[in-house]
Amino acid sequence: MKFDNLKTILEHLCYFGEITHQEAKSQNIASAADVLVSLGYLIDTNGNWMITDRFLLLFPIADITELRRKIFFNHPGYRQYLTLIAASEITRRGIEGAMEQVEEYIINHMPHICADINKLIDRIEENLGSKPVKSYSPGELISGFKHLIKEIQQNQEQDFESWNKDLLGFSGTQETIFQAIIARNALAGTDDPIIKTEQKIEPDYIITLNRELTFPTGRPVFFPYLNHTEIENKTFNPCDNISQWLTRKSVFSSIPLISPDNPHNEYKIKDIQDAFCSHPVSWILIQLGIFEFVQKTVSGINRLRLIKQSGKQGKTKDISIELDLDKIPAGYFTNLLPELIEILGFRWVEPFKTTNENRLHYLISAMMKADIFELNEQLEFVLTESFSASLFERPRFQLINKGVKPFREKLIEKLEAINREEPEYNENH
């Protein structure tokens, strides 16, 4: 098992939710994808691997190390190996008379695997000669357990002992590994290795965002990961960051600009704008901008304001949403986003417990470079004049307006309902 390859693919999946065969091949991680398929965390579809519900249930995580442990502490063979280590050490301590210690381990750390431990002890008794376990010396028992551990590794065709350093942070004697098992809670109660949730083998691929809004499927939505914004001079060359702009088949994650089957070397600004109109997160920002533009144009009243909240080095940390000129924010975009996504019929996915504080800055900066938003003197994000004019041109009107108005109204209704509630003070803003 090459855990470096596993780290690479897990990082990718946490940001994008799926990986094409070409992406995996270019990073030399196709074998890691096959491992995740065998464990039920990925499905191999026509041309790409997509994460399963079982994978999504692992979120949120502190970091990739935690995710890797969650996955491989669930590996049937490795879990059996760790259970054998635990059974060996618990049995040895029992024979040596440390029963209080044994009870503490069983009650506090592994009550759910008592039956498994008893079965393994029965198997050891049978292998050693069918006498009661207490009639054997600690050395004989350890020898019996070591033989069984070796047998399991041979049957699984894996060297689980070599996994310990990566997954437990320790390697060495059985006693050392046992203490690491306790410290990492490696045998905590977990789901059955067999997938219990129903999962389509061939997912329904995304057709258009408008269709997804009209016929919601609860499709997963990730915040678009854009750590580079090379949109310059009204054109865009994706260079080495194709994954961030690739049209995904089963989830909303990347900004859907580049077709995996027919990539180009250069994209016009109109193509980039249309791509931002086709991801739920950037679509919500655009719809709020449209509401502000329409209300101001029709009535001359600015009913909604998107106010920049600056963080370190002047970067956009958040966007305050104000309604009806009362100067009281309905909320902050990053806080409201999960609920806004879900009222539209999608499934919000937050992979990490602590989010990247620059991710909104990268997104809004890219949308500004794509001539969608600009920042006025009052530090309000507003639609640019050229993008506002394009809203009434036929191709853009079909994409961003026709049939979409009820969903925009649903967003505003939600914000107005929040605005009527007592606002909560958030010290981070």
* pLDDT at residue 197 in the model: 44
* pLDDT at residue 57 in the model: 93
C-alpha distances in angstroms, 347 versus 234, 283, 350? 33, 15, 10
Q: How far apart are CA 324 and CA 89, in angstroms?
A: 67
Q: Where are the domains of the chain?
A: 3-72, 76-184, 204-429
Name the fold adopted by 3-72: Arc Repressor Mutant, subunit A (1.10.10)
Q: How far apart are CA 203 and CA 195, in angstroms?
A: 17
Chain-centroid distance of CA 124 in Å reads: 42
* pLDDT at residue 196 in the model: 44
Whose structure tokens read 């009281």? 328
Whose structure tokens read 């994954």? 243
Whether residue 244 contacts residue 230, with contact meaning beta carbons closer than 8 Å, is answered with: no
Q: Is 320 helix (H, G, I), strand (E, B) or coil?
A: strand
* pLDDT at residue 198 in the model: 45
Whether residue 42 contacts residue 14, with contact meaning beta carbons closer than 8 Å, is answered with: no
* pLDDT at residue 195 in the model: 43
348 exposure class (CB count in 10 Å sphere: 0-12, 13-18, 19+): middle
**H or E stretch covering 414:** helix 405-420
Q: Going residue by residue through the chain (429 aa), what tens digit of pLDDT does each one get?
A: 567 778 999 999 999 999 999 999 989 999 999 999 989 999 988 789 999 999 999 999 999 999 999 999 888 889 989 988 888 888 888 777 777 887 888 777 777 888 888 888 778 777 777 676 667 777 777 788 888 888 888 888 888 888 888 899 888 888 899 889 888 888 876 554 444 444 445 567 788 888 888 888 899 999 998 876 566 555 566 666 789 999 999 999 999 998 887 776 678 889 899 999 999 999 999 999 999 998 888 877 778 899 999 998 899 999 999 887 566 667 899 999 999 999 999 999 999 999 888 999 999 999 998 999 999 999 999 999 999 999 888 777 777 776 777 888 888 888 888 766 644 545 455
Which amino acid appears at position 397 of this protein? F
Nearest Cα residue to 380 out of 316, 426, 324: 316
Nearest Cα residue to 250 out of 26, 44, 60: 44
Q: How far apart are CA 39 and CA 73, in angstroms?
A: 11
**H or E stretch covering 142:** helix 138-156
Whether residue 149 contacts residue 123, with contact meaning beta carbons closer than 8 Å, is answered with: no
* pLDDT at residue 412 in the model: 86
* pLDDT at residue 327 in the model: 62
Q: Residue 42 forms beta bridges with which residues?
A: 51
* pLDDT at residue 234 in the model: 57
